[in-house]
């Protein structure tokens, strides 16, 4: 009896095929979950950055309107004094940049006053990842 138990223990030195397949299946499942979690993280970060920059432009445009008593004609009016101001002595530089930053997809931010979404105010938007204006992925201050 001692000899038979000893032979079974000596024979069992590695993993069975079933154990290896089970471990591989678990690893594949975990790997696919990880890929699913991290896919799109970069794109979501770019969308969040665009929303943040649009919020900053929105606040600065409102401040511009309070200071000068008119809306800017473009976002560049936040950096450089426009020639058509009714009260040029009230203008002040509202952004420290020498030129406007591009959106996360390297496109210019858009500005319209009156806006097509905010008809009593203004629209500030990015044309989004597809690079086409007026599509569903545009990101603006109307969201």
The top-level CATH class assigned to 47-140 is alpha beta
Stretches in the chain below the pLDDT threshold 70:
1-13, 36-39
| DSSP classification of residue 56 | H
Look at residue 110 and give its three-state secondary structure.
strand
Q: Tell me, what's the pLDDT at 42? A: 79
For the chain, what are the domain ranges?
47-140
Nearest-angstrom CA–CA distance, 72 and 91:
11
Q: Tell me, what's the pLDDT at 49? A: 93
Count CB neighbours of 86 within 10 A. 8
Angle at 41 between CA 37 and CA 45, to 5 degrees: 155
Encode pLDDT of 35-51 as tens digits.
766 667 778 889 999 99
Q: Tell me, what's the pLDDT at 2? A: 56
């Amino acid at each position: 009896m001692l000899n038979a138990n000893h032979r079974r223990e000596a024979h069992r030195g590695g993993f069975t095929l079933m154990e290896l397949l089970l471990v591989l299946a678990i690893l594949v499942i975990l790997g696919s979950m990880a890929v699913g979690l991290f896919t799109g993280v970069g794109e979501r970060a770019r969308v969040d950055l665009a929303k943040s920059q649009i919020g900053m432009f929105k606040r600065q445009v409102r401040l511009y309107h309070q200071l000068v008593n008119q809306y800017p004609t473009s976002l560049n009016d936040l950096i450089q004094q426009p020639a058509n101001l009714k009260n040029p002595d009230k203008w002040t530089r509202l952004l420290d940049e020498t030129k406007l930053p591009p959106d996360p997809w390297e496109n210019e931010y858009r500005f319209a006053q009156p806006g097509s979404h905010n008809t009593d105010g203004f629209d500030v938007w990015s044309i989004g990842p597809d690079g086409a204006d007026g599509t569903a992925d545009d990101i603006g201050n109307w969201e």
